[in-house]
Structure 1
Amino acid sequence: MPVKNRFAELQAEITEWRRDIHQHPEILFETHRTSALVAEKLRAFGCDNVVTGLGRTGVVGVIKGRGSSDKVIGLRADMDALPIHETTGLDYASKTDGAMHACGHDGHTAMLLGAAQYLSETRNFDGTVVVIFQPAEEGGGGGKEMCDDGLMDRFGIQEVYGMHNWPGMPVGAFAIRPGAFFAAADHLEITVTGKGGHAAKPHETVDPTVCAAQIVTALQTIASRNADPVSQIVVSICSFQTSSKSYNVIPSSVELMGTVRTMSNENRDLAEKRIAEICNGVASAMGAEVDVRYKRNYPVMANHADQTEFAADVARSVAGKCDEAPLVMGGEDFAFMLEERPGAYILVGNGDTAPVHHPEYNFNDEAIPAGCSWWAEIVEQRMPLN
Structure 2
Amino acid sequence: MSARDVIPSSLAEAIDTAAGALEAQVIAWRRDLHQNPELGNREFRTAGVIADHLKQLGLDEVRTGVAFTGVVGLLKGALPGPVVALRADMDGLPVTEEVDVPFASKARAEWNGEQVGVMHACGHDCHVAILMGVAQVLAGLRAQLRGTVKFIFQPAEEMPPEGEEGGAKLMIQEGALEKPVPRAIFGLHVTSRLNVGMVGYRPGPTMASSDRFSIKVHGKQTHGAAPWLGVDPIVTAAQVVLGLQTVVSRGTDITREPAVVTVGMIRGGNRDNIIPNEVEMRGTIRTFAEDMRDEIHERVTTLAESVSRGSRAGCTVCINKNYPVTVNDPALTAAMVPTLQRVAGPGKLELVNKVTGAEDFSFFQQVIPGLFFFVGVTPRGIDPSKTYSNHSPRFFADEQGLLIGVRALAHLTCDYLEAQAGA
TM above 0.5 = yes
Choose which of 410, 415, 418 in structure 2 pairs with 1:376.
410
Q: How many residues align?
A: 384
Query: AA paired with 2:243?
Result: A
Choose which of 335, 338, 341 in structure 1 pairs with 2:362.
335
Report deviation, 1:14: 1.1
Report deviation, 1:60: 0.7
Query: AA paired with 2:250?
Result: R
CA RMSD across the alignment: 1.3
CA distance in 2 between partners of 1:156 and 1:2 (Å): 27
- Provide the secondary structure at the position in 2 that maps to 1:152: coil
After the TM superposition, list the runs of 4 or more consecutive aligned residues in structure 1 that deviate by more than 6 angstroms: none
The residue correspondences of 1:98-109 to structure 2 (distance < 5 A) are 98-109=117-128
TM-score between both structures, scaled by the size of structure 1: 0.97
CA distance in 1 between partners of 2:232 and 2:21 (Å): 66
Report deviation, 1:221: 1.1
Further displaced range: 181-190 or 1-10: 1-10
Contact 2:265 2:282 in 1 (8 A): yes
- Provide the secondary structure at the position in 1 that maps to 2:94: coil
CA distance in 2 between partners of 1:235 and 1:63 (Å): 43
Further displaced range: 320-329 or 258-267: 320-329
Report deviation, 1:229: 3.1
- Unpaired segments of 5 or more residues in structure 1? none
Choose which of 230, 244, 258 in structure 2 pairs with 1:205.
230
Contact 1:102 1:356 in 2 (8 A): yes
Query: AA paired with 1:139?
Result: M
Report deviation, 1:369: 1.4
Q: Which residue of 1 aligns with 2:32?
A: 20
Identity rate of aligned residues, in percent?
37
Further displaced range: 145-154 or 156-165: 145-154
The residue correspondences of 1:274-285 to structure 2 (distance < 5 A) are 274-285=299-310
Query: AA paired with 1:128?
Result: T
Contact 1:4 1:369 in 2 (8 A): no
Contact 1:311 1:346 in 2 (8 A): no
The residue correspondences of 1:335-354 to structure 2 (distance < 5 A) are 335-352=362-379, 354=388
Further displaced range: 53-62 or 345-354: 345-354
Report deviation, 1:142: 0.4
For 1:79-121, what per-residue CA distance to the aligned partner results, in whole angstroms no more than 9, with x for missing partners? 0000000011211111303000001100000000001001001
- Provide the secondary structure at the position in 2 that maps to 1:56: coil
CA distance in 2 between partners of 1:367 and 1:7 (Å): 12
Q: Which residue of 2 aligns with 1:92?
A: 103
- Provide the secondary structure at the position in 1 that maps to 2:195: coil
CA distance in 2 between partners of 1:287 and 1:47 (Å): 65
Q: Which residue of 2 aligns with 1:137?
A: 157
Report deviation, 1:224: 1.4
CA distance in 1 between partners of 2:254 and 2:93 (Å): 34
Report deviation, 1:249: 1.1
CA distance in 1 between partners of 2:237 and 2:396 (Å): 38
CA distance in 1 between partners of 2:125 and 2:176 (Å): 22
Further displaced range: 179-188 or 132-141: 132-141
- Provide the secondary structure at the position in 2 that maps to 1:139: coil
- Unpaired segments of 5 or more residues in structure 2? 1-12, 109-116, 161-165, 380-386
- Provide the secondary structure at the position in 1 that maps to 2:80: coil
Q: Which residue of 2 aligns with 1:241?
A: 267
- Provide the secondary structure at the position in 2 that maps to 1:217: helix
CA distance in 2 between partners of 1:287 and 1:267 (Å): 30
CA distance in 1 between partners of 2:148 and 2:344 (Å): 25
The residue correspondences of 1:236-275 to structure 2 (distance < 5 A) are 236-242=262-268, 244-275=269-300
The residue correspondences of 1:149-164 to structure 2 (distance < 5 A) are 149-164=174-189
CA distance in 2 between partners of 1:310 and 1:108 (Å): 23
Q: Which residue of 2 aligns with 1:32?
A: 44
Contact 2:333 2:371 in 1 (8 A): yes
CA distance in 2 between partners of 1:238 and 1:369 (Å): 37
Contact 2:378 2:397 in 1 (8 A): no
CA distance in 2 between partners of 1:360 and 1:316 (Å): 30
Query: AA paired with 2:33?
Result: I
Contact 1:58 1:132 in 2 (8 A): yes
Report deviation, 1:288: 0.4
TM-score between both structures, scaled by the size of structure 2: 0.88
Report deviation, 1:2: 4.6
The residue correspondences of 1:37-48 to structure 2 (distance < 5 A) are 37-48=49-60
For 1:148-190, what per-residue CA distance to the aligned partner results, in whole angstroms no more than 9, with x for missing partners? 1121123321111110011131213211111100000000001
Q: Which residue of 2 aligns with 1:313?
A: 338
Structure 1 pair 16/346, CA: closer, same or farther in 2 (3 Å)?
Answer: same
Query: AA paired with 1:221?
Result: T
Contact 2:378 2:396 in 1 (8 A): no
CA distance in 1 between partners of 2:200 and 2:232 (Å): 50
Q: Which residue of 2 aligns with 1:181?
A: 206
- Provide the secondary structure at the position in 1 that maps to 2:127: helix
Contact 2:97 2:106 in 1 (8 A): no
